[in-house]
Structures are given as C-alpha cells and as structure tokens.
Amino acid sequence: MKKYGRTFHLPCSPGASSDDKIMSSIEGLMVEDLVITEKMDGENTTIHSGGAHARSPDSRYHPSRDWLKAFAAGISPYLAEDERIVGENLYARHSVAYDALPSFFLGFAWILGSEVQSWDLTQARFDELGIQPVATLYRGRYRAGLFEDLARTLDLSMQEGFVARIADAFAESDMPKRVGKYVREGHVQSEIHWMKADLIPNRLA
C-alpha cells in the first residue's frame, strides 16, 4: 500500500490545526500555469491495479467503503502496476453535506511510478476510465493575492476549501512545494468522527 502524500496548508489557510503541516513558502506555486480545484470533504482514497485503499491506516470496515470497493473493481483491471488514481470517496457525509454530486468518487491525481502527472494528462486519463474530476475553480497565472481573493468567493456553508497545484507534472516527493490547500476555519463541525456516527449518504445530482 502506497499512501498519497500529505498536502500542506497554504500559509493563508485558517483551518490548519496544531498537527497540520504548513508550507514554508509558496514560491513553488508561483508559476504561469496554476490549477486550483475545490477541496472536497470526503475520504482520501487510492485506486490501483490490485483494488483500493483509504489514505488512513485505519482499515476497519465502514459501509461507505462498500460503494467505493465496487467502483474500484471496474477501474483496477485497466490500471498498470505502477499506476494510481487518487481522489475523494464522498459516499458518506462528513462535515459538508453534498446534494448534487456528479459521482461519489471525484479524482484529483493520476500518478505513474513516483510522478504526479500533469493536469491535462490527468483529465484525459480520467476520461478514459470514466472518472469524474473535482471541480476546477481557477486556472491561469499565479498573482499576488490570488489565494486570498479566491477564499473570499467560497460559500463556506457548502465548500471546505480549495487545493492549488502546478499544472505541469512533478515528482511526488515535491508535493510539499507544488501542492497547497486552503481549508475553512473550524472545518470539522461535529465532535463525533464521521466513521463513528450514523452513516448519512451524500446525494448525487
């Protein structure tokens, strides 16, 4: 099992907790082609040639993973051994309630070996596999104040935040420099962890 790397918080992210990692610099995101996607409130999940696994080392059974297991069964046979699809399992409601999802699995990364593929190639691979991507909120040149301006456009009752990454491919080991997230303040709304609470499914469009 190869876990997807941790995404560090952008320095302007108000949702970072004491055990979260914060980017020491955003210089690695100051590029001509930057992609910003919506951060979805689900369970980080990797689909690979042998099946699927959650990012968390917790492998206890949870009914929200039944749907994902069936979905992955239709994807895994088409993946090479060194190929991984990473996205969010959104079947179970966490802190944000979704009522118009295009799918219960939304992809955001395609990895070959140890390289995160470019956003354009990722979108093309998702199309081949029938995977819906996370929504793109912005694509273009980095500019000063971009992240703060975008944060002000969020509907904080319905959106957890966003993730910025360079559009080009990059080494998975460079994730701390090439990917950063903004998370709303006080994101977790319940004291009960979603895996211990009653399962409430999100809804599809």
The token duo for 131 is 């995977």
Is 72 a domain residue? yes
pLDDT band at 17 (very low <50, low <70, confident <90, very high): confident
Give the chain's length: 205
Is 194 a domain residue? no
Structure confidence at residue 196 (pLDDT): 63
**Is a pLDDT exceeding 80 seen at residue 182?**
yes
Domain count, the chain: 1
Higher local confidence (pLDDT), 65 or 164? 164
CATH of the domain at 92: 3.30.470.30
Structural domain boundaries, residue 95? 8-183
Half-sphere exposure of 79 toward its Cβ, with a 13 Å CA cutoff? 26
**Is a pLDDT exceeding 80 seen at residue 190?**
no
Is 205 a domain residue? no
Is 204 a domain residue? no
Mean predicted lDDT score pLDDT of the chain:
92
Is 197 a domain residue? no
- Interacting residues of 82 by C-beta distance below 8 A, sequence separation 6+: 112, 113
Structure confidence by residue, pLDDT tens digits, 66-100: 999 999 999 999 999 999 999 999 999 988 999 99
Pairwise CA distance, residues 98 & 202, whole Å? 5
Give all strands of the β-sheet with 136-140 in edge-to-edge order.
8-9, 179-183, 161-166, 34-39, 136-140
Structure confidence by residue, pLDDT tens digits, 43-52: 999 999 999 9
The Cα-based distances of 149 to 2, 107, 137, 157, 187 in angstroms read 35, 25, 12, 18, 19
Is 188 a domain residue? no
Is 193 a domain residue? no
**Is a pLDDT exceeding 80 seen at residue 1?**
no
pTM reported for the whole predicted model: 0.92
Is 189 a domain residue? no
Cβ pair 100, 205 in contact under 8 A: yes
Structure confidence by residue, pLDDT tens digits, 97-142: 999 999 999 999 999 999 999 999 999 999 999 999 999 999 999 9
